[in-house]
Amino acid sequence: MLQGEGGAGVGRAKMNLHHLTIHQAHQLLKDRELSSVELTKAILERIAQVDEKVHALVTVTEGLARHQAEQADERIRAGDLTPLTGVPALIKDNMCTKGIRTTCSSRMLDNFVPPYDAMVVERLKEAGLVMVGKANMDEFAMGSSTENSALFPTHNPWGLDRVPGGSSGGSAVGVAVGEAIYALGSDTGGSIRQPAGFCSIVGFKPTYGRVSRYGLVAFASSLDQIGSMTKDVTDSALVMNIIAGYDPRDSTSANYPVPDYTKSLVPDLRGLRLGVPREYFVEGMEKGVEVVMRTAIGKLEELGAEVDWEVSLPHTKYALAAYYIIAPSEAMANLARYDGVKYGFSYQEAESMWDAMEKTREFGFGPEVKRRIILGAYALSAGYYDAYYLKASKVRTLIRREFEDAFERFDALITPTSPTVPFKIGEKVDDPLQMYLSDVCTLPINIAGIPGLSVPAGFSDGLPVGMQIIGKPFSEETLLRIGFAYEQATGWQKRRPEI
Amino acid sequence: MKLSREEVNHIALLARLGLSAEEMEKFRGQLSNILENFEVLQQVDTSDVPPTAYPTPLENVLGEDEVAPSFPQGEILENAPRKEEGCFRVRAVLE
């Protein structure tokens, strides 16, 4: 029961509720010092205050949020609560929400209202979800800056003229500025980790198959994975506890036991062997990022980890090309469904069936989506299939094996999340290859299907730098342990942008 | 190697993707540049390397055929641009 004046809540009344973590909010809710209705109101006020500056949200679901908050408070009063009950969240706008517009930040799905919830949304609802809105993204999750949103670009709160990263840029910014306590993102080549790094929050892409893709609008099905975007590592563990697990409706869902991820949160790295692959520290890397990373890895050593600074993963340099053949090829097939017949944008003035389909796709998709459809169609077409798609799939095997070998010797690998700090809006938008390079540290992890965690590692000239922690399949607990120990020792996760 | 206009046209047709003349020119240059950079893959020796389609070693999962409710027709048609008598309305395929 938090009030503006008097009573037990007086200390907290002055506190910025929007900057609470999940575990802090949960404690207050559980102790009945704060209600979900009050917390939700504070978050909605924060959205009203800052979203015109950062443009993180596609849809604000105010009425729904207030209703869900009331329901959550009833659950809390009955003592039936989970750590997420009544805690306001943002969902990336490529996850289906029953009855709530799900646009993928595309003109193609501008009016699409899903008849069902994604599995992750079902799980969060069971846990007591309060959804305050749907987050902006690069159209169909294709991009690294959220500039490819057909609606508007999202701005980085650490520098409003800079990109927040992408494609889950709206989710990252929303969490960083307190338009939500946590968010869900999706990651096909870095789309959770890179924006998390750019916005100084924690982004977790679990092992491929760990979280069901049911209800996630498909981009590249062998690479897509849903994960958490949170203010600290403890919160990542709490979200993972709810969303991880088997789902027969996703044919690639892993039927593998889900641990209690909070058990792995120990602030000590003794006995862990960490490797630093040197291929992630060369070409195009900014000096400031390198300095931050060397300091961060030094800290991991201080915390008791044994660090080998001279690991080599020589196939890393082929990952970018392999990824940008495989992902567009899968995208081209997945996006064939947008034909203007079943749902979404439909060009009505056409002469014929083919004309209608081509015009629907011409006017419904934005430039990057079209570029990738063409690239994918080319890589899969007769005469080029062997040289491009098949070749890339074989290189994928080599990259995967190289990681497997490394994990014989190391419990985790440490790299920067991105080679640069957030770049200026507009800087790379007309140079697709330069844009693709901003995923160079994150996309090998999707190629191999392994988990990756990005944690705030400091700043270079006032702009955030993320550290990526990579592990073997289903080693989420090890990654959380490393991230937790690091943030406990450094406190970078407590910094908030001034806005 | 710059992609020819005919090649881009052919690919766009395969993907049933309409492109304006301006987009066509822009993509032609950008895609040529991208593909040129991807030539790097040809340096890798992949003889005797099997392709990977999915990263996790999943096996086929067999299940019982169980009758379960499907979505109500009305809900599925809710988003349809054109519908008629409980069906999606489409344009003539044969003319």
Contacts of A41 (CB under 8 A, 6+ apart): A66
Residue B1's pLDDT band, with cuts at 50, 70 and 90, is low
Mean confidence (pLDDT) of chain A: 95
Q: Comparing C-alpha atoms, which of A56, A31, A131 is closest to residue A88?
A: A131
Task: Answer yes or no: is B24 within a domain.
Answer: yes
Contacts of A39 (CB under 8 A, 6+ apart): A17, A20, A25, A28, A29, A69, A86, A87, A88, A181
Lowest pLDDT segment from A4-18, A130-144, A448-462: A4-18
How do residues A378-400 score in pLDDT, each as one tens digit?
Answer: 999 989 999 999 999 999 999 99
How do residues A155-207 score in pLDDT, each as one tens digit?
Answer: 999 999 999 999 999 999 999 999 999 999 999 999 999 999 999 999 999 99
Name the residue range of residue B30's domain.
Answer: 5-43
A11 has a pLDDT exceeding 60: no
CB contact under 8 A, A322 and B42: no
Neighbours of A434 (CB within 10 A): 14
Of B16, B37, B76, the CB nearest to A361: B16
Give me the CATH number covering residue B10: 1.10.20
For B34, name the nearest residue in chain A, comparing CA atoms only.
A433
For chain A, the structural domain boundaries read 14-499
B-contacting residues of A 6-45, CB under 8 Å? none
A98 has a pLDDT exceeding 90: yes
d(CA A12, CA A2): 7
Residue A458's pLDDT band, with cuts at 50, 70 and 90, is very high
A93 has a pLDDT exceeding 60: yes
d(CA A405, CA A431): 35
Task: Answer yes or no: is B83 within a domain.
Answer: no
Task: Answer yes or no: is B31 within a domain.
Answer: yes
CB contact under 8 A, B82 and A346: yes
Residue B62's pLDDT band, with cuts at 50, 70 and 90, is confident
Residues of A marked as catalytic:
92, 167, 191
User: Any CB–CB contact under 8 A between A351 and chain B?
Assistant: no
CB contact under 8 A, B15 and A336: yes
CA dihedral A362, A368, A370, A373 (to 10 degrees): -160
A411 has a pLDDT exceeding 50: yes
Assigned fold of A14-499: Amidase signature (AS) enzymes (3.90.1300)
Chain A residues in contact with B35 (beta carbon < 8 A): 378
pLDDT score of A12: 53
Of B33, B37, B52, the CB nearest to A397: B52
A34 has a pLDDT exceeding 90: yes
pLDDT score of A6: 37
B-contacting residues of A 445-464, CB under 8 Å? 447-450
Separation in Å, CA of B53 to nearest CA in chain A: 7
pLDDT score of A125: 98
User: Any CB–CB contact under 8 A between B55 and chain A?
Assistant: yes
A-contacting residues of B 56-75, CB under 8 Å? 56, 58, 61, 63, 71, 75
Chain A residues in contact with B1 (beta carbon < 8 A): none
CB A56, CB A179: distance < 8 Å: yes
| Average pLDDT, integer, range A128-145 | 98
Question: Is the peptide bond between A167 and the residue preceding it cis, with omega within 30 degrees of 0?
Answer: yes
Of B44, B56, B61, the CB nearest to A473: B56
For A398, name the nearest residue in chain B, comparing CA atoms only.
B49
User: Any CB–CB contact under 8 A between B54 and chain A?
Assistant: yes
pLDDT score of B21: 93
| Average pLDDT, integer, range A410-414 | 98
User: Any CB–CB contact under 8 A between A218 and chain B?
Assistant: no
Pairing of strands A88-92, A182-187: parallel
For B37, name the nearest residue in chain A, comparing CA atoms only.
A321
Task: Answer yes or no: is B79 within a domain.
Answer: no
3-state SS assignment for residue B83 = strand
How do residues B7-36 score in pLDDT, each as one tens digit?
Answer: 999 999 999 999 999 999 999 999 999 999
pLDDT score of A1: 38
Give the mutation candidate from B8, B25, B44 for the A interface (greatest A CB count, under 10 A): B44
pLDDT score of A117: 98
Give the mutation candidate from B5, B91, B95 for the A interface (greatest A CB count, under 10 A): B91
Handedness of CA A369, A370, A376, A380 (dihedral sign): positive
Distances (CA, A) of A445 to A38, A285, A441: 40, 18, 8
Task: Answer yes or no: is B15 within a domain.
Answer: yes
**What is the predicted ipTM?**
0.95
Residue A14's pLDDT band, with cuts at 50, 70 and 90, is low
Looking at the structure of chain B, the number of domains it has is 1
Q: Comparing C-alpha atoms, which of A160, A166, A99 is closest to residue A135?
A: A166
| Average pLDDT, integer, range A323-352 | 96
